[in-house]
Amino acid sequence: MTLRTSRTLYLVISGSIFLMVALLHLLRLVYHWPITIGSWTLPHWVSYVGFPAASGYCIWAFWLSRR
C-alpha cells in the first residue's frame, strides 16, 4: 500500500466517523434525546457546538481525500 493510498484511506475513515458523530448530534437535537453519564446530564448546547464542528471536520476530511 502506498503512502498516498494510506493517507486517502485514513481520511475517508476519519470523515466517515465524523459524519456519524455529526448525524448523532443532529438526531439528538431533532428528537431531544437526553444523554446521562452517571448522575450528570449532558446539556443540549453541547450538540449545538458539536454538530457544526463534526460536520466541518467531516467535510474537511473528505475534501482532503479528493486532493
pLDDT given for residue 3 in this prediction: 83
Let me know: does 11 contact 67? Beta carbons within 8 Å.
no
Q: Where are the beta strands (DSSP E) in the chain?
A: 36-37, 40-41
Predicted TM-score (pTM) above 0.75:
yes
Distances in whole angstroms, Cα of residue 24 to Cα of each of 3, 4, 21, 49, 63 = 32, 30, 5, 13, 21
> Mind listing the pLDDT tens digit for each residue in 30-60?
999 999 999 999 999 999 999 999 999 999 9
Residue 18's Cβ-count burial label (10 Å; 0-12, 13-18, 19+) is buried
